[in-house]
Chains A and B, each alone.
Chain A
């Protein structure tokens, strides 16, 4: 087994996902600890151009039409070949719509240990993962064999995984990719008729704590008063109370408003990763242990149902004075 650290570069429709750079930063730390090299793995089709700002010692490039976009079966066949032949110390995947689909399958297929939702590595190389909506952390040693990990954002700055010097590219021949069972048909872009919440400067976001569809009116009143827009976390969107264009989270929009007001949002990691770019976060939640308070600028445990009407009145009064 080598001591090298491998990172799977995630990309979609010609764009490298930010988590890739986070993993390169983490991978650089691990390579330092193990005195080894950092390899990036780029699976794609005529996609070498995506490698330009990747901060790795080497980039393993695998080119095949079946790898043009992510497909779990083609990725599984390719990654198992690479890992079998290179035997890295560690392989990092994103805890994402791409990495999470593939890491567990590689783990079972090759009999390698997998830890998910790793946020950072300690200075002596232990992984620290978050579970239970970010309320509990689990720390552990890498296994003796190749260890697979999926990573969540938050522990490393993406800029640390970027470089002005393109990495040395090494081509790796893809395995036979015939009889694949997953095919990409088309990509559907988010509906264009709605506003783009990632460009709004004031967002009033509602979570499970809003309880009913009728209560959305409270958030709308506050949004109207502040000149903001209402958006939501996953449970509210899944109820069909707001369109998916208003979803803030891992598979929704990442937002960066001046002020983000979270009403009844607990702060699950999938939501938090999408709002950390906000200038000011105000969290209103009756659960004093809600993880949202760990990243908010201001917080209050007051019941939103007691607060919002009063707040709207005061905002109106302040505007008129």
Chain B
């Protein structure tokens, strides 16, 4: 069994986000990139499957700032091969990424492709369904559990309200991971450093990228909302007093019977 995990880096939303002076893209000058948390779950799910069955895990990521650490970390967790796709990704969208990654995956011929179900900077749909269509394979997203049986994957797909659909998918297939069966494991920095000395990142240049498939953005702006919370300021004591009066107004404070 061979599993490919596609991973990408996304803007860290804890940091301040600004729009480029051109007004149609994010300003990436000071943008801090981190692994897409759903992709982190996809890596974990692949490693969990590897621990249950004899499976080869290959992790692929496009070259964003910080990607080497992400790939070496995946390796320290148990990935067998790590591939960095190189090229100019400054204005890439998921359609272009899907086409480019599909061309690599066709060569690797995995039984299963895992990727995060979504990313915070998706603007032309998430990458999973597009990747599956490029490969002419079925796709199931919002997956929070995977079991492999011969040429079939049995998956748990999440629906609103906490309902879960159990589905079977004939392999090869692409899955969009919502959550691995357990939280992504922690690996010590020292172990990642050790892996950096003993493992190699396989660098593969990508040819020209085809960004078609997304309508033109004419304006990008910070979310401006018509409403904003009434902000309560002051010391914790003062804030607590104000909140207690809100609770009283709402009639949710039940007097203690004495």
Contacts and interface: CB of A to CB of B under 8 A. Distances in A.
Tell whether A and B belong to one assembly: yes
Contact of B163 (A108, A109, A150, A187): A187
A190 B163 contact: yes
A238 B142 CA distance: 13
A311 to B, nearest CB: 4
A266 B130 CA distance: 29
- Interface of chain B, main secondary structure: mixed
Q: How large is the interface on B (under 10, 10 to 19, 20 to 34, 35 or more residues)?
A: 35 or more
A3 interface: no
Contact of A72 (B14, B120, B140, B215): B140
B246 A298 contact: yes
B118 A136 contact: no
Interface in A85-123: 96-97, 100-109, 111-117
A167 interface: no
A319 B141 contact: no
Given A97-B142, A97-B158, A184-B165, A113 B213 contact: yes
B141 A238 contact: no
Interface residues of A, number: 108
Contacts of B258: 320
A138 B214 contact: no
B76 to A, nearest CB: 20
A103 B11 CA distance: 24
Nearest to B182: A240
A244 B145 CA distance: 13
Contacts of A298: 229-232, 242-243, 246
Given A101-B142, A136-B222, A319-B253, A12 B122 contact: no
A252 interface: yes
Interface string A154-190: 0000000000000000000000000001111111111
Contact of B244 (A103, A139, A283, A314): A314
Nearest to B132: A105
B252 A227 contact: yes
Interface stretch (B51-59, B172-180, B189-197, B198-206): B172-180
A239 B125 contact: no
Interface string A125-150: 01101111111111111110001001
Contacts of B16: 289
A268 B223 CA distance: 13
Contact of B118 (A69, A100, A143): A100
Interface stretch (B1-9, B61-69, B84-92, B233-241): B233-241
Contact of B223 (A76, A107, A134, A287): A134
Contact of B225 (A247, A294, A297, A310): A294
A291 B17 CA distance: 13
A69 B165 contact: yes
Interface of A: 12-13, 17, 69-73, 76, 96-97, 100-109, 111-117, 126-127, 129-143, 147, 150, 181-190, 201-202, 226-227, 234-235, 237-240, 244-245, 247, 250-254, 258-259, 266, 268, 279-283, 287, 289, 291, 293-302, 306-307, 310-311, 313-316, 318-320
Query: What 8 pairs between A and B have smallest CB-CB spacing?
Result: A190-B162, A299-B229, A104-B129, A104-B125, A108-B133, A296-B229, A294-B225, A105-B133
